[in-house]
Amino acid sequence: MAGKDEVGYNWDDLNRTAKNLEKSIDNRFALLGHRFHELRRSQSASGGDVLQEQSQLGELEVEMRRLDRIIEMMGELLDQLSGSKASGSNASHLLNRHREIYQEYRKDMAKLKVWSDHQSCTPTHL
Mean pLDDT in consecutive groups of 10 residues from the start of the chain, 126 residues: 53 95 95 78 58 80 96 92 68 95 95 72 44
Is 71 contained in some domain?
A: yes
Q: What is the pTM of this model?
A: 0.76
Taking a C-beta distance cutoff of 8 angstroms, is the pair 2, 11 a contact? Answer: yes
Nearest alpha carbon to residue 24 among 64, 52, 58, 53: 64
Quote the pLDDT of residue 84.
62
Alpha-carbon distances, residue 118 vs 10, 22, 62 (angstroms): 42, 27, 22
Is 3 contained in some domain?
A: no
Is 16 contained in some domain?
A: yes
Q: Domains in the chain: how many in total? A: 1
Is 2 contained in some domain?
A: no
Phi and psi angles of residue 10, each rounded to the nearest 5 degrees, phi first: -125, 165
Is 5 contained in some domain?
A: no
Is 1 contained in some domain?
A: no
Cα-Cα-Cα-Cα torsion 69, 74, 76, 81, nearest 10 degrees, comes to 170
Which domain does 75 fall in, by range?
11-125
